[in-house]
């Protein structure tokens, strides 16, 4: 992707997020008859000589790209291969390449072509397909045997062990215990995985991991192996934080929170990656990252952009630790880069944010069954592939029982019901937060939902105190999009940070659970002759990615600030008029947040800052 479509363009305390199209199968893709049948080929090798693994390479909502990889783990060449699997009803292959794929009902069979059936020892061959639906393959067989190189057909793989529990946690060790898996022929042993990698194989139901680092987060899972050496699915993950290390988790009541949003689409046109948080110096000055966004579909949390999230291959020069990804590593993309960033900066906590302006429409259905929604979110956030990356969940519902891109009629209690269910499922050891409206007007959005009740289950609110005014009102009047306070001539009463915070406090939300929002961008009009706020305009000012909006790093040079009003800066250059925050106005806003007893501040989003992170530095200096 060489260009960007902004996906969180704020509009009246909200975020817009357009979807991106993907290129799918090439000219070699083969359209397949869904009911065609083939007979099974005879096994080309012994059952333990090859494995087959599946990867969903990308997901664009209405479909996905899947890939199977056959690896020869034996000592002699494979002469042919056949993979079989079952998809649930509603999931199907539409076109494939580098294999002949046929089906009988929900059972699918893929066979090598004439040129790629031979696989040398240690070598691999892959084929891909475009699919519809959202299901995952099950019952995989390679040449009639288990796809994990296990036993003969008819011998079932073991079940998943119970989710491990941790005890006797010290600076350098932790004891893990789990309940037994089951198998039709018996369990041989268990693999213990730390952060996705096997660290031990044991025959019992406990293991003590030593040699750990003090004050560090780890994630553990377990999988069983039966007497035929088939391995089953991994268990649920348990997070362990070793003692010592001289640090505690920043949060309300402790050190001030300095949280930034990182967008999955920023890795495309903006060429902004997790490594930039390190090279800019920002990683050392923040406490939390919200990764945006996961989607909300069918009442469930779902992946937002699988390629950017966990499949994009990073070269050494763009990797946090300078190590390039390999084709067969279990996790790539921004998730793996976040894992590396956390290893370098152990104080950082990462939350996965779901929703946003475009993807908030799914919350209405989620509110109909909050427990099922919470379960889906937990299953996704705690997926063993990346459970150690995330320390909790953030929901960005724009807006409960009110109108954003669409209008919601779930009722005043819907937000509380969802946050209660999330807290129940995620437990006390995970962070659960929400981004919310800053509409402090009489009868406005804050009055339409039970924000005080919902706050009881949350660690904090990210109050979106920006985008109060902008060029959606094409003729003006010009006004700062992030005023800290009201001022004479403000276009709408209650549209400022101080009124929003005051209303939330009055409703019973503790000040320590409120974070002040900062935009790392400006909003502007063109056709403006008046330098002071309140002038008329002819439309939105030109922007790099979207009219009416521009990054701070651009505006500081292209249209330097010419004045301040209500605690934020504005600039008039030529016929363009912009408002945005500068290091000076941010420091004054942080001082105000401290005086109000707020838990800290957050910002949207990292890529709008300068290469040396001057806005993040201003927030850090102002909060501490």
Whole-number Å distance between alpha carbons of 255 and 598: 11
> Which of 595, 564, 552, 583 has the alpha carbon at shortest distance from 487?
564
Q: What does the block give as tokens for 160?
A: 């998943």
Q: Is 398 a catalytic residue?
A: yes
Which helix (H) or strand (E) is 187 found in, with range? Answer: strand 187-194
Q: Assess contact for 476 and 441: CB atoms under 8 A.
A: no
Residue 198 CA neighbour count, 13 Å, CB half: 11
**Helix (H/G/I), strand (E/B), else coil: 546:** strand
Residue 181, φ and ψ in degrees, nearest 5: -85, 170
Rounded distance, CA 608 to CA 263, Å?
11
Cα first-last separation, the chain: 39
Catalytic residue among 45, 398, 550, 605: 398
d(CA 363, CA 575): 41
Task: Please compute, for residue 56, the number of CA atoms within 13 A of its CA located in the half-sphere on the CB side.
Answer: 21
The greatest distance separating any two alpha carbons of the chain, rounded to the nearest whole angstrom, comes to 83
Q: How far is CA 309 from CA 195, 314, 349, 403, in A?
A: 17, 12, 17, 29
Task: Tell me the DSSP string of 76-131.
Answer: S-BS--EEEEE--TT-EEEEEESSEEEEETTEEEEE--TTS--B-TT-EEEEEEEE
CB atoms within 10 A of CB 378: 20
Interatomic CA distance for residues 190 and 203, integer angstroms: 6
- Quick check: 464 and 13 in contact, CB under 8 A? yes
Distance of alpha carbon 158 from the chain centroid: 31
DSSP character string of 23-73: ----TT-EE--TT---PPPPPSS-GGGEEEEEEEEEE-SS-EEEEEEEEE-
Q: Decide if 568 contacts 581 (C-beta within 8 A).
A: yes
How much is the CA Rg of the chain, to the nearest whole Å? 26
* Catalytically active residues, by annotation: 398
């Amino acid at each position: 992707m060489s260009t960007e479509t902004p996906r969180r363009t704020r509009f009246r305390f909200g975020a817009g997020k357009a979807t991106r199209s993907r290129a799918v199968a090439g000219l070699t893709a083969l359209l397949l008859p869904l009911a065609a049948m083939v007979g099974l080929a005879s096994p080309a090798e012994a059952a333990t000589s090859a494995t087959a693994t599946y990867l969903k390479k990308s997901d664009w909502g209405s479909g996905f790209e899947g890939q199977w990889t056959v690896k020869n783990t034996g000592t002699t060449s494979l002469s042919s291969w056949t993979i079989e699997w079952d998809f649930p009803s509603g999931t199907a292959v539409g076109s494939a390449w580098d294999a002949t794929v046929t089906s009988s009902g929900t059972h699918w069979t893929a066979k090598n072509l004439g040129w790629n059936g031979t696989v040398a020892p240690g070598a691999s061959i892959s084929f891909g397909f475009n699919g519809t639906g959202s299901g995952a393959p099950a019952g995989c067989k390679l040449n009639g045997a288990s796809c994990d190189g296990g036993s003969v057909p008819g011998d079932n793989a073991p079940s998943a062990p119970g989710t491990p529990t941790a005890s006797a946690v010290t600076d350098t060790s932790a004891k893990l215990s789990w309940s037994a898996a089951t198998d039709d022929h018996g369990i041989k042993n268990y693999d213990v995985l730390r952060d996705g990698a096997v660290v031990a194989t044991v025959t019992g139901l406990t293991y003590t991991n030593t040699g750990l680092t003090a004050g560090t987060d780890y994630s553990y899972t377990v999988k069983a192996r039966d007497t035929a050496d088939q391995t089953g699915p991994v268990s649920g993950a348990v997070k362990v934080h070793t003692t010592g290390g001289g640090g505690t988790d920043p949060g309300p009541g402790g050190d001030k929170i300095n949280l930034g949003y990182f967008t999955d689409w920023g890795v495309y046109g903006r060429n902004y990656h997790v490594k930039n948080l390190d090279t800019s110096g920002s990683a050392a000055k923040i406490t939390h990252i919200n990764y945006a966004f996961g989607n909300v579909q069918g009442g469930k949390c779902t992946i937002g952009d699988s390629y950017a999230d966990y499949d994009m291959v990073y070269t050494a020069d763009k990797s946090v630790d300078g190590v390039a990804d390999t084709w067969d590593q279990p996790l790539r993309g921004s998730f793996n880069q976040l894992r590396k960033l956390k290893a370098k900066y152990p104080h950082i906590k990462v939350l996965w944010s779901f929703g946003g302006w475009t993807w908030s429409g799914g919350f209405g259905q989620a509110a109909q069954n909050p427990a099922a929604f919470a379960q889906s979110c937990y299953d996704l956030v705690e997926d063993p592939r990346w459970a150690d990356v995330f320390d909790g969940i953030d929901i960005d519902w724009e807006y409960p029982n009110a109108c954003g891109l669409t209008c919601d009629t779930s009722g005043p209690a819907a937000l509380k019901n969802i946050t209660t269910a999330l807290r129940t499922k995620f437990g006390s050891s995970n962070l659960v937060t929400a981004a919310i409206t800053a509409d402090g007007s009489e009868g406005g959005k804050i009055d339409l939902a039970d924000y005080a009740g919902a706050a009881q289950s949350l660690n904090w609110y990210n109050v979106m105190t920006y985008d109060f005014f902008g060029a959606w009102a094409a003729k003006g009047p010009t006004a700062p999009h992030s005023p800290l306070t009201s001022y004479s001539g403000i276009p709408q009463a209650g549209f400022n940070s101080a009124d929003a915070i005051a209303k939330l406090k009055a409703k019973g939300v503790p000040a320590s659970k409120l974070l002040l929002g900062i935009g790392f961008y400006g909003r502007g009009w063109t056709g403006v002759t008046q330098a002071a706020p309140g002038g008329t305009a002819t439309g939105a000012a030109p922007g790099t990615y979207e009219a009416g909006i521009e990054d701070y790093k651009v505006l500081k040079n292209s249209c330097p600030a010419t004045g301040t009003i209500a605690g934020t800066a504005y600039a008039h250059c030529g016929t363009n008029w912009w408002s945005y925050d500068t290091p000076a106005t941010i420091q004054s806003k942080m001082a105000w947040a401290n005086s109000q007893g707020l838990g800290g501040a957050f910002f949207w989003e990292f890529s709008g800052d300068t290469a040396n992170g001057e806005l993040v530095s201003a927030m850090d200096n102002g909060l501490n």
